Amino acid sequence: MLTLIKIEWLKIKKYPAFWWMLGIVALTYPGVNSMFYYGYEKATNGKEMTNNIAKFLLGNPFSFPESWHSVAYFSSFFILLPSILVIMLVTNEYNFKTHRQNIIDGWSRQQYITSKLFDVLIVSLIVTFVYVLAAAGFGVYADSTSVSQWTAQLQYIPLFLLQTFAQLSIAFLLGYLVKKAFIALGIFLFYYLVIENIAVAYARFKLNDIGRFLPFEISDRIIPAPAFFSRFGKDAKASYDHALSLIPEHVVYTILLTTAIWLICYAVHKRRDL
């Protein structure tokens, strides 16, 4: 196992797109949360009555322990950035025909897929690390008086890791089956940004919310919208509590879907001509 990781690291460490993507993720995750944070600051900092109402309604989504949840939620919008990297990592192998050479040189087909699983895991861990740094940073910066509560919602770290790994696994499957980077990226972006969002919204109102079983939505629901969203609207609180109650169920679905994705990759790779 360690040997596979070392070999994948030899491939990745001098791949310019890896470092570019890492840099973009490292800027985007804190950046997008900063936007929301300064929006919150603007709405609540002031002596007007509206500022106080906003503060009362929103709480502080960026102070501990809520920062673990809020930063995970906002950061998860940008899964498409590491997804591009994952798709590039798998389609590069087809482009360079190194998916063949690795086997010729002595890997089993199973080892090849395992090595790619490690790629996705490595990227997921790095992304999660960036998220943890961002969430911790906001927690400390937003309200130093709440630092003592930093341990309260730590479950969002493994949930974020699971969501990231699950969604990057979908990106991997697409790249693995389609083989061409631009086609895979096109399908991924169109499905992720357009098709599934429309399908989920439609299903929510018309089809008893079965959209929650769509590939990305399954894992999207393990990190529901942060608590302050539940302070708006008549049924928001009930809806938020319901979303929280569904997390364990969706964790199981996410694990099942992700396991199925990798089993498909192993099964296809075992049989297909390379």
Which residues fall within 8 angstroms of residue 194, CB to CB, at 6 or more apart?
none
Least distance from another protein to the Cβ atom of residue 185, Å: 19
Question: Environment class of residue 150 by beta-carbon count within 10 Å: exposed (0-12), middle (13-18) or buried (19+)?
Answer: middle
179 binds another protein (CB under 8 A): no
DSSP class of residue 77 equals: G
Least distance from another protein to the Cβ atom of residue 109, Å: 7
Please say which residue, 6 or 206, places its beta carbon nearer to another protein: 6
45 binds another protein (CB under 8 A): no
- Residue of the chain from 205, 208, 248, 271 that contacts another protein (CB under 8 A): 271
Please say which residue, 4 or 81, places its beta carbon nearer to another protein: 4
Interface residues for another protein in 61-100 (CB under 8 A)?
A: 92, 96-98, 100
Interface residues for another protein in 105-134 (CB under 8 A)?
A: 105-109, 111
The backbone region for 201, taken as left when phi is positive above 0, alpha when psi lies in -120 to 50, beta otherwise, is alpha
Interface mask toward another protein for 16-35; x: CB under 8 A: x-------------------
Encode 55-91: b = buried (16+ Cβ within 10 Å), e = exposed: eeebbbbbbbbbbbbbbbbbbbebbeebbbbbbbbbb
Least distance from another protein to the Cβ atom of residue 186, Å: 22
Please say which residue, 34 or 92, places its beta carbon nearer to another protein: 92
Question: Environment class of residue 157 by beta-carbon count within 10 Å: exposed (0-12), middle (13-18) or buried (19+)?
Answer: middle
Interface residues for another protein in 184-213 (CB under 8 A)?
A: none
- Residue of the chain from 103, 147, 157, 187 that contacts another protein (CB under 8 A): 103
273 binds another protein (CB under 8 A): yes
Encoded tokens for 121: 């895991």
Three-state DSSP state, 205: helix
Least distance from another protein to the Cβ atom of residue 6, Å: 7
- Residue of the chain from 1, 10, 151, 234 that contacts another protein (CB under 8 A): 10
- Give the 3-state secondary structure of 82-109: HHHHHHHHHHHHHHHCHHHHHHHCCCCH
Least distance from another protein to the Cβ atom of residue 27, Å: 23
Which residues fall within 8 angstroms of residue 4, CB to CB, at 6 or more apart?
111, 114, 115, 118
1 binds another protein (CB under 8 A): no
Least distance from another protein to the Cβ atom of residue 212, Å: 39
Quick check: 168 and 123 in contact, CB under 8 A? yes
What's the angle, vertex CA 210, arms to CA 209 and CA 211, rounded to 5? 85
Residues that bind another protein (CB under 8 A): 3, 6-7, 10-11, 14-16, 92, 96-98, 100-109, 111, 271-274
